[in-house]
């Protein structure tokens, strides 16, 4: 039941924010403000509902370490996508023609802030955390990553490969970031920076939603879809899968070193009688 309440609360904020963002689509200052407000409100609502339904402090969104976590996540996301687009450009498939739209980038800043915060709260804050508590880290990471990838099949230019790539790179990387830190700030920052770099800076197709008007006026020429990502965008590129998988591995190694990898609850329960027998 707590899963339903928590998902529902964040989903309501995401829906309301989406309606406002749609209503002010042409007004870039309002669009930016509405997106940031949606992100902040979603975090506050999530924290309140967690405290009410689980009767514990919502440590995963506590203010302590929030700024540092967001900055670290944004740096990782920006560098990771920068490496991807650099390799695609090096293959001759991505071309910059000049300056793009500053106002478009500002509007996308708000939109991506709202998307990153609400998706991380739902997928990592609620689903991954609760499923992990019952079935263990590995099962939860695989299952929630698959759901995260499948969600992108509803996008306009979605492809099955694109959804699989998102599950591997996005689901794995963002889930591992949460597991390693046990807070949502790094995943939120990483998710935001990746998406904003993709659309708000480099103006490429984002997750099958078409090209955006960001800071750079650019085009991605036709080439092998496994290199460029095709109509799905760079997230469908093997470069994204490789670089994000490396980041995922780094986070998982950190999580293991910190003792953050959880076994299934039934295995823990089974170990209790055995430990008691040994003690006797």
107-138 tens-digit pLDDT: 999 999 999 999 999 999 999 999 999 999 99
Q: Structural domain of residue 186, as residue ranges?
A: 65-267
Q: Is the confidence at residue 277, as pLDDT, over 60? A: no
More confident residue, 252 or 28: 252
Sole residue written with tokens 């870039």? 28
Instruction: Report the mean per-residue pLDDT for the chain.
Output: 91
Instruction: Give residue 183's pLDDT.
Output: 97
Question: Do residues 240 and 169 make contact, with C-beta atoms less than 8 angstroms apart?
Answer: yes
Q: Mean of the pLDDT values across residues 17-46? A: 92
The angle formed by the CA atoms of residues 204, 207 and 210, to the nearest 5 degrees, is 50
Examine residue 278 and state whether it is found in any structural domain, yes or no: no
pLDDT in tens, 155-166: 877 889 999 999
pLDDT in tens, 245-275: 999 999 999 999 999 999 998 665 444 443 3
Q: Mean of the pLDDT values across residues 9-20? A: 94
Instruction: Give residue 252's pLDDT.
Output: 98
pLDDT in tens, 190-210: 999 999 999 999 999 888 777
48-56 contacts, C-beta under 8 A, 24 or more apart: 48/9, 49/5, 49/6, 49/9, 49/10, 50/6, 53/1, 53/2, 53/5, 53/6, 54/2
Examine residue 53 and state whether it is found in any structural domain, yes or no: no
Q: State the sign of the Cα–Cα–Cα–Cα dihedral 170, 172, 178, 181.
A: negative
Q: Is the confidence at residue 50, as pLDDT, over 50? A: yes
Q: Round to whole Å and give the CA distance between 93 and 95.
A: 7
In the chain, alpha helices (H): 2-23, 28-54, 66-90, 102-120, 129-135, 137-151, 160-166, 172-181, 185-196, 225-228, 238-257, 265-279
Least confident of 57-66, 205-214, 241-250: 205-214
Instruction: Give residue 270's pLDDT.
Output: 47
pTM: 0.92
Least confident of 57-61, 159-163, 180-184, 246-250: 159-163
Examine residue 5 and state whether it is found in any structural domain, yes or no: no
Examine residue 49 and state whether it is found in any structural domain, yes or no: no
Say how many C-beta atoms besides its own lie within 10 A of residue 222's C-beta: 9
Q: Mean of the pLDDT values across residues 237-243? A: 95
Examine residue 193 and state whether it is found in any structural domain, yes or no: yes
The percent of residues in the chain predicted with pLDDT above 90, rounded, is 78
35-38 contacts, C-beta under 8 A, 24 or more apart: 35/109, 35/110, 35/111, 35/112, 35/113, 35/114, 36/109, 36/110, 36/113, 36/114, 38/13, 38/14, 38/113, 38/114, 38/117, 38/118
Least confident of 27-31, 53-57, 122-126, 259-263: 27-31
Question: Do residues 164 and 241 make contact, with C-beta atoms less than 8 angstroms apart?
Answer: no
Q: Is the confidence at residue 279, as pLDDT, over 60? A: no
Instruction: Give residue 1's pLDDT.
Output: 77
Examine residue 121 and state whether it is found in any structural domain, yes or no: yes
Q: How many domains does the chain have?
A: 1
């Amino acid at each position: 039941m707590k899963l339903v309440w928590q998902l529902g609360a964040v989903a309501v904020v995401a829906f309301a924010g989406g309606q406002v963002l749609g209503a002010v689509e042409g007004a870039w200052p309002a669009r930016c403000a509405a997106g940031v407000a949606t992100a902040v409100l979603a975090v506050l609502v999530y924290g309140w509902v967690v405290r009410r339904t689980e009767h514990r402090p919502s440590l995963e969104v506590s203010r302590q370490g929030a700024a540092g976590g967001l900055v670290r996540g944004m740096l990782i996301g920006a560098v990771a996508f920068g490496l991807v687009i650099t390799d695609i450009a090096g293959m001759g498939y991505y071309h910059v023609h000049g300056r793009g739209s500053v106002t478009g980038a500002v509007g996308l800043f708000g939109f991506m802030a709202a998307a990153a915060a609400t998706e991380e709260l739902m997928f990592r804050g609620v689903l991954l955390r609760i499923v992990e508590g019952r079935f263990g880290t590995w099962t939860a990471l695989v299952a929630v990553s698959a759901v995260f990838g499948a969600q992108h099949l509803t996008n306009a230019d979605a492809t099955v490969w694109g959804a699989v790539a998102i599950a591997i790179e996005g689901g794995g990387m963002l889930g591992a970031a949460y597991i390693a830190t046990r807070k949502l700030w790094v995943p939120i920052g990483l998710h935001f920076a990746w998406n904003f770099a993709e659309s708000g800076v480099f103006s490429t197709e984002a997750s099958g939603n078409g090209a955006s008007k960001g800071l750079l006026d650019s085009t991605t020429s036709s080439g092998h879809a496994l290199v460029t990502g095709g109509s799905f965008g760079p997230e469908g590129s093997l470069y994204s899968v490789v670089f994000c998988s490396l980041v995922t591995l780094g986070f998982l190694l950190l999580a293991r070193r910190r003792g953050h990898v959880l076994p299934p609850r039934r295995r823990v329960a089974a170990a209790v009688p055995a430990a008691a027998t040994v003690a006797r």
